[in-house]
Chains A and B, each alone.
Chain A
């Protein structure tokens, strides 16, 4: 009988100790960790970087014009597609699909616009180097808007309001019949610059994570406990530690805006996407790049473009996306290959060999529980999208 009691007691003791360990709250943040947390804090986001290539980047009138253009379905071959068809504001400017669906099916997953004013590169492969030049490409992409620059210029000329707004911003429209190629291109570029002036104002807002960091910065333990569960705290600790996540997802927008091969599997029926290695070549020959004649950057500083990396290490590399609002921007990866956050985390935990190029990530060896905690943390990055206060007057 005594043995039985002893056995039961032992089992109970083990159970209680395991439970206590299971429920262990994470230890207090070290100074080094607090430094990392502050670096991820939205409060640490620098002021909007200048856009020397776009003279109207900070003009509220241009932004308002750009906003109208952004939602205007007339800028498409069949009159049914606007920028907002894929970049839906209510979905954090994405579309919830593997690949964008417009006139046809786009080649890749629709990336969010939020915070892209801070990125030197646009698109998954960085084949454009400014928001304004990016805004032009979908208009002429046969599977997206499928229109062309001449028709876009004609629309601006024929719509009375557009014409008046355009001319107040950029001067007289050229006569279409007499307009040569550079003249058409200039108007087309100005359309992109207006759209960019609108997009530039689209920024993330304070998430629960940011409020948590504020509480950490204040040393307010009570607020920390109210804002984050233990699992979320553990998840954050993994995010800035054993998960190696901040190697690429760093800074207040949780992205280094650089290109990395992380061994994501090819999309069904397609060869593996070559990514940045091709994107950089397209950028270097694009007439609307920073060094091109339609850029307003008179000094043509364009350091990003001039010192851009090229070469084999960019095979299969794609731009690091922001993790803010992650749970509202599924499916994930450049072709929407991975449906859920949990599956993305499993992918990084395994870090399989890349089909082309090499996977820069290393297997993490995290437990199922740690992956769940990491996921719990990532969901604290959700927050509504806002436009900068400067724009409110423009509306």
Chain B
């Protein structure tokens, strides 16, 4: 039984590693299919391309080779379009690697000599892009700062990244460790040879592992209503929604995990933003921020709701 449990542990661990997609450090966060830079409260969709080497492939931070690199910020917060943005890339002289933070950068005495690219503050109302050709591989830190023209306040974000990134990260370490654990266990139990003839052990491990995984959710009926505190949604205007969720018997649903997508089915495109629930307001109300419609016409907002008791998708149809 011991053996089965250990197998199960290892398999679960491996699957966890496979499933792990989100990682966060610096000012750039990989949110699954969307990479976001957070300049204080200001957010922008962030992506890097190496068009001469990898074409349309997007990178969130680390870049495969030293090559022409295009950095793109698509604003998720309208304020950024009215703020001059400064962009600097320095060699990592902090010694902190990917744990470098804004304070570390601020403590650098001679930032100019470490700078490999500098774009002075510039107002880019639509989308921010800079291009830099890396001539050598290594560790770098990107520094993005935006100045509020009215208050004079400067917001900054740093994102350490590697050029010549192998794409392996911590993987070899994990995998190596697991292999070692397994071999050691098998060797200690003295049943290395027998293990091969007994695939049933592994089967049992998988079965138990499946039992240990979160229970499968089943479809549940939810009723979603929405309101827009700032009035009827205006085109090209970032605004918030309040989603109100009740179950089929009319009781409010609290503590739900809600994921919102949407788009124009007739035009085959999605929302221009990636809205998300920023706050649970209580009483079945959830604050949905980052809503923006960029075309008039028929839109569908897809609300995926997961609770302890069930999972469901509700589609809100509206015409803008």
Q: Please determine whether B126 and A266 come into contact, CB atoms closer than 8 angstroms.
A: no
Collect the chain B residues with CB atoms within 8 Å of residue A274's CB.
126-127, 129
**Shortest distance between the CB of B242 and any CB in chain A (Å):** 25
User: Who on chain A is nearest to B270 by CB?
Assistant: A358
Answer whether residue A362 sits at the interface, using C-beta atoms and an 8 A cutoff: yes
- A355 pairs with B72, CB closer than 8 A: yes
B70 at the interface (CB under 8 A from A): yes
Known contacts A263-B56, A265-B56, A353-B58; A271 and B129 CB within 8 A of each other: yes
A362 vs B74: C-alpha distance when bound (angstroms): 21
Q: Which of B47-55, B178-186, B198-206, B310-318 lies on the face that meets chain A? A: B47-55
CB contact under 8 A between A266 and B272, given known A352-B56, A355-B56? no
Q: Does A258 contact B (CB under 8 A)?
A: no
- A360-378 CB contact bits vs B (8 Å, 1 = yes)? 1010000000000000000
Chain A proximity mask over B103-118: 1 for CB below 8 Å, otherwise 0? 0000000000000000
The answer to whether B49 and A312 have CB atoms under 8 Å apart is no
A2 to B294 CA separation, bound complex (whole angstroms)? 70
B229 to chain A, nearest CB (A): 23
Q: Is the CB of A313 within 8 A of B70?
A: no
Give bound CA distance, A393 to B126, whole Å: 49
Instruction: Tell whether, in the assembled complex, residue A312 and residue B72 are in contact, meaning their CB atoms are under 8 Å apart.
Output: no
Question: Which residues of chain B come closer than 8 Å to A97, judged between CB atoms?
Answer: none
Contact among A268, A269, A312 with B294 in the assembled complex (CB-CB below 8 Å):
A312
Q: Is the CB of A358 within 8 A of B55?
A: no
- A362 contacts B268, C-beta separation under 8 Å: yes
Q: Is B137 an interface residue (CB 8 A)?
A: no
- A269 CB, nearest partner CB in chain B, Å: 7
Contacts of A384 in B (CB 8 A): none
Known contacts A311-B236, A312-B294, A313-B294; decide if A271 and B272 are in contact (CB<8 Å).
no
A357 at the interface (CB under 8 A from B): yes
Q: A266-B51, A278-B126, A315-B126 are in contact. Are A356 and B72 (CB under 8 A)?
A: yes
Is B267 part of the binding interface, using a Cβ–Cβ cutoff of 8 Å? yes
- With A263-B56, A265-B55, A278-B126: A312-B236 Cβ-Cβ less than 8 Å: yes
Is there contact, CB below 8 Å, between B70 and A266? yes
Alpha-carbon gap, A271 to B47, bound state (A): 13
Q: Chain B interface: which size bin?
A: 20 to 34
Chain B residues positioned under 8 Å from A263 (CB to CB): 56
Residues of A within 8 A of B232 (CB): none
Q: Please, which residues of chain A bring their CB within 8 A of the CB of B56?
A: 263, 265, 352-355
Instruction: Give Cα distance in the complex from A9 to B268, angstroms.
Output: 48
Measured CB to CB, the nearest residue on chain B to A337 is B51
Min CB distance A178 to B, Å, is 40
Within the complex, the shortest CB–CB distance from B25 to chain A, in Å, comes to: 24
With A268-B52, A355-B56 as contacts: A311 and B294 at CB distance below 8 Å: yes
Inter-chain contacts of B281 with A (CB < 8 A): none
Is A283's CB within 8 Å of the partner chain B? Answer: no
Select which of B68, B129, B236 is within 8 A of A272 by beta carbon: B129
Contact B126 A271 (CB under 8 A): no
Q: Which of B55, B129, B235 has the most CB of A within 10 A?
A: B129
In the complex, whether B193 has a CB less than 8 A from a CB of chain A is no
Within the assembled complex, what's the spacing in Å between the Cα atoms of A248 and B239?
Answer: 31
Is A218 interfacial (CB 8 A cutoff)? no
Name which residue of chain B comes closest to A357, CB basis. Answer: B127
**Contact of A355 with B70 in the complex, beta carbons under 8 Å:** yes
Distance (whole angstroms) from the CB of A272 to the closest CB of chain B = 6
Across-interface contacts of A353 in B (CB, < 8 A): 56, 58
A356:B127 contact, CB within 8 angstroms: yes
Indicate if the CB atoms of B126 and A355 lie closer than 8 Å: no
B72: chain A residues at CB < 8 Å are 272, 355-356
B272 touches A313 (CB 8 A): yes
Contact B126 A277 (CB under 8 A): yes
Complex-state Cα separation, A354 to B270, whole angstroms: 14
**Residues on the B chain within 8 Å of A311, using CB:** 235-236, 294
Assess the B267–A360 pair: CB atoms within 8 A. yes
The reply to whether the CB of B257 lies closer than 8 angstroms to some CB of chain A is no
Q: Which residue of A lies closest to B133 (CB)?
A: A269
Are the C-beta atoms of B70 and A272 separated by less than 8 Å?
Answer: yes
Cα distance A241–B182 in the bound complex, in angstroms: 57
In the assembled complex, the CB of B47 is this many whole angstroms from the nearest CB of chain A, namely 8
Q: Is B269 an interface position by the 8 A CB rule? A: yes
Bound Cα distance A358, B56 (Å): 12
Complex contacts, A159 vs chain B, CB 8 Å: none
Residue A31 at the chain B interface, CB threshold 8 Å: no
Q: Which of B126-162 contact A (CB under 8 A)?
A: 126-127, 129-131, 133
B295 on interface, CB distance cutoff 8 Å: yes
Q: Smallest CB-CB separation from A268: which chain B residue?
A: B52
Render B251-269 as a binary contact track against A, CB cut-off 8 A, 1 for contact. 0000000000000000111
Cross-interface CB contact of B68 among A268, A277, A352, A355, cutoff 8 Å: A268
**A270, CB-defined interface residue at 8 Å:** yes
Neighbouring A residues of B127 by C-beta, 8 Å: 274, 277, 312, 315-316, 356-357
Question: What B residues does A356 contact at CB under 8 A?
Answer: 72, 74, 127, 129
Cα distance, A354 to B127, chains bound together (Å) = 13
Q: Measured between alpha carbons, how far is A18 from B47 in the docked complex, in Å?
A: 47
Q: Which chain A residues lie closer than 8 Å to B294 at the CB level?
A: 311-313
**Which residues, 163 to 210 on A, are CB-close (under 8 Å) to B?**
none
Query: Per-residue CB proximity of A307-334 to B under 8 Å, as 1/0?
Result: 0000111011000000000000000000
Task: Please give the distance in Å from B21's CB to the nearest CB on chain A.
Answer: 18
Q: Complex Cα distance A353/B272, Å?
A: 13
* C-alpha spacing A352/B95, complex, angstroms: 38
Given A352-B55, A358-B270, 9 further pairs, Cβ under 8 A: A268-B52, A269-B131, A269-B133, A274-B127, A312-B236, A312-B272, A312-B294, A313-B272, A356-B127
Q: 26 A-B residue contacts at CB 8 Å?
A: A265-B51, A265-B56, A266-B70, A269-B68, A271-B130, A272-B70, A272-B129, A277-B126, A278-B126, A311-B236, A312-B127, A312-B236, A312-B294, A315-B126, A315-B127, A352-B55, A353-B58, A354-B56, A355-B51, A355-B56, A355-B70, A356-B72, A357-B74, A357-B127, A360-B267, A362-B268
